[in-house]
Chains A and B, each alone.
Chain A
């Protein structure tokens, strides 16, 4: 399975960011200094869920977010530290 590329990860992070914030341009320059703890938790939970859909994961926590100067640094971290968990589970819905 090909490792996730930066564009794919940026798309996941952008989608996750929209759960906690609105913006109308590039979001890589934003930082986490004004995030409430609950913003951080929802944000990292969404990133984890979106990565899991593709069979990947990355080590994240609210403490970890403090180590990133901005969202660009977070994206670069995920690119380098993504972990492959195996093919994602396929859920069959019976209608």
Chain B
């Protein structure tokens, strides 16, 4: 019979086993993936270490608060990105933020100077690398189970994962980060161009671009191309003392530039202002059917040019202004129809800011669409209006046809 003393003795002996009995599971099966994040103020790369589902069969997932608490302790391991052949670190732990998912660990990497080389590695695929850990990563689940990821296993899996980003992903993340301006804005390049000038003669060149941030969201740029042929059409200097919000964190973009050709034959000042927004819907043709009525996207812009020096007397000492308006509006009609309107209005002024009516241009497309149930096909009528942007010839036409899209079957 178990006496009280025997029970207390049992607890005393078993306590170490109970308290240290937290099961530790060595993680062998996991994958490493990479993706981009382009939501505003959080633009960057995301590497996910995704644990196999077999580690979560009891239904418990990662204890997120325990993970965040452990990050702040000295015992938390350090992540780095290293070149595979040389083991050199090219992205330090200072640029990496580990965060918990339900069944994965995410490494958040903001796009900045140090991470540019990682972006290049993912773009080209020509630079093998792996994710380094200085000691095992311990991850607690909600039921107390502890997963242990070894540095050796992480190196093995990450180096063989063939991580890369598509061209479209690269374009989107670079564009989100303000285009090549902010990532690659400062560069110098020199070389010998073969037959790329008007005269088809060869020429040596030096191109440069320096970008600096004057204030938050305000950049200044100095750039140009110096050619061994003084009258090379590409040879010029450009100074942009004001570039506002090229990072596109808000819908306004502003840029002012001074530009002069190397041979001094042409000199001009120009500016651009752009504002993009979503306006409220002003029409509802659904008659009560539940349709997604996207709000109109409107882009308003204004370009201005002033030529202080030019061989063309028609533009010399003249100002030209170009206000423009783009609209995208998708309008659902009843249960199955929709109208899509995409239009552009553009009005280039004559010299000295004279806006002549005949210079106003309106181009666009209006299409009527219909979803045929079960067949994934659309009967479409389309009316295009306005002028060809290159030849300025009027080009109004009506097209009626049937499109069957074989790739949209669900």
Contacts and interface: CB of A to CB of B under 8 A. Distances in A.
Tell whether A and B belong to one assembly. Answer: yes
Given A21-B292, A59-B37, A61-B169, A34 B338 contact: yes
B342 to A, nearest CB: 9
Contacts of B143: none
B116 to A, nearest CB: 18
Given A34-B338, A63-B36, A23 B100 contact: no
Given A21-B293, A34-B294, A63 B169 contact: yes
B278 A45 contact: no
Contacts of B172: 61-63
A1 interface: yes
Interface string B30-53: 000001111110100010100000
Nearest to B408: A33
A20 B68 CA distance: 34
Interface string A61-88: 1111000010000000000111111100
Nearest to A80: B102
Nearest to A52: B42
Interface residues of A, number: 40
Contacts of A21: 292-295
Contact of B278 (A20, A26, A57): A20
A9 to B, nearest CB: 12
Contacts of B40: 41, 45, 48
B101 A1 contact: no
Contact of A39 (B64, B104, B284, B294): B294
A8 interface: no
B73 interface: no
Contact of A60 (B39, B99, B291): B39
B276 interface: yes
Contacts of A81: 101-102, 104
A13 interface: no
Nearest to A35: B294
A38 B342 CA distance: 14
Nearest to A81: B101
Nearest to A44: B39
A91 interface: no
23 contacts: A1-B64, A1-B65, A3-B61, A22-B284, A22-B293, A23-B292, A34-B294, A34-B338, A38-B297, A39-B278, A39-B297, A45-B39, A47-B39, A49-B39, A59-B35, A59-B46, A60-B38, A62-B38, A62-B172, A63-B36, A63-B168, A80-B102, A80-B103
Interface of A: 1, 3, 17, 19-27, 30, 34-36, 38-39, 41-42, 44-45, 47-49, 57, 59-64, 69, 80-86
Interface of B: 35-40, 42, 46, 48, 61, 64-65, 67-68, 99-104, 106, 166, 168-169, 172-173, 176, 276, 278, 281, 284, 288, 290-295, 297, 328, 330, 338, 340, 410
Given A57-B99, A63-B169, 18 more contacts: A3-B61, A20-B295, A21-B292, A21-B294, A23-B292, A24-B288, A34-B330, A36-B294, A39-B297, A48-B39, A48-B42, A49-B39, A59-B36, A61-B169, A62-B172, A63-B36, A63-B168, A83-B100
